[in-house]
Amino acid sequence: MAYFSQQLINAITLGAIYGLIAIGYTMVYGIIGMINFAHGDIFMIGAFISLIGFLICAALGINSAPLAIVLVLLMAMAFTAVYGWAIERTAYRPLRGSFRLAPLISAIGVSILLENYVQLAQGARPKPGGGSIVTGGFTLFSSDGFDVRVTWLQIVIVVVTVVLMAGFTWLIASTSLGRRQRACEQDMKMASLLGVNVDRTISLTFVMGAALAAVAGMLFLMYYGVVDFFIGFLAGIKAFTAAVLGGIGSLPGAMLGGLAIGLIEVFWAGYFSSEYKDVAVFAILVLVLIFRPSGLLGKPEIEKV
């Protein structure tokens, strides 16, 4: 029971990080119906910017952990927002009226470009840092000599994820920007005729998704204490899997899918074999696509005629 409880805590933490990345996928897909396969690399860049930010804070003598986290988070969100805007402006907008595979191929090219750019700029070796910013925790209970512990960082990750998901759900459901986004999702041409600036709305969606990826990147760095140029590929694929599993286009579905992926990955590694945890994740995705293509919370796509 104690081992199961500890793995459950670890799974919820990992799933929260995947869910944050998945929200970016589902927001972009919800508006323009395309997958931004460079989103995982935006997450990776957010992690590297966070690492650089923490090093700058240490060099400047900023010893307050909350202040350092806030400053680094603002810096990471600002820089990754610029990356998100640039990707939409260069890789998506010129191809919006083209055939559907063109933006997909362009996004994959941007993903490869960002990976190699970071590899050249930061080197191929893993970069440690950020793992000692938030330390400590408490023991929930002990059983058979095994202590079930929850760290403060795990609590921070889950709380931040829940708050951001609730905030973005409210933004899309109750604000002017959310109404514009939903209008573009339903019919871009009609939204444009009614005065909605479609280009600006789509750009803001990319910017918001990139900012969320920056938050996930900083939390990932603080949780694992090491980053490299390749973390965006696998994390991005799993977050995309989470978005599809939960129902792509649904923000709660993205979070539910992230938690599901975290649970599958952690429990498979804990009870079976860590070497095949990724196989288990994608096997579940295949089964969901076969038996419920719209995902757990997704709605069947209605074709406009």
pLDDT in tens, 49-67: 999 999 999 899 888 888 9
Higher pLDDT, 132 or 38: 38
pLDDT at residue 47 above 80?
yes
Tell me how far apart the alpha carbons of residues 227 and 129 are, in angstroms, rounded to a whole number. 8
Tens digit of pLDDT for each residue in 179-201? 888 888 888 888 888 888 988 99
Measured CA distances, 181 to 42, 87, 184, 193, 235 (Å): 22, 18, 5, 14, 26
What is the pLDDT confidence band of residue 304, given thresholds at 50, 70 and 90? low
Is the distance from CB of 204 to CB of 20 less than 8 angstroms?
no
Largest CA distance in the chain: 67
Is 118's pLDDT higher than 60? yes
pLDDT over 70 at 300, yes or no? no
Mean predicted lDDT score pLDDT of the chain: 87
Confidence category of residue 97, pLDDT binned at 50, 70, 90 = confident
Query: pTM of the predicted model, to two decimals?
Result: 0.91
For each of the domains in the chain, give its residue range(s) and CATH number, in order of start. Answer: 2-291 (1.10.3470)
245 by DSSP, 3-state: which? helix
Distances (CA, A) of 103 to 34, 93, 144: 8, 9, 55
User: What residues contact residue 52 under an 8 Å CB cut-off, 6+ apart?
Assistant: none
Q: Give the chain's length.
A: 305
Dist CA 254 CA 51 (whole Å)? 26
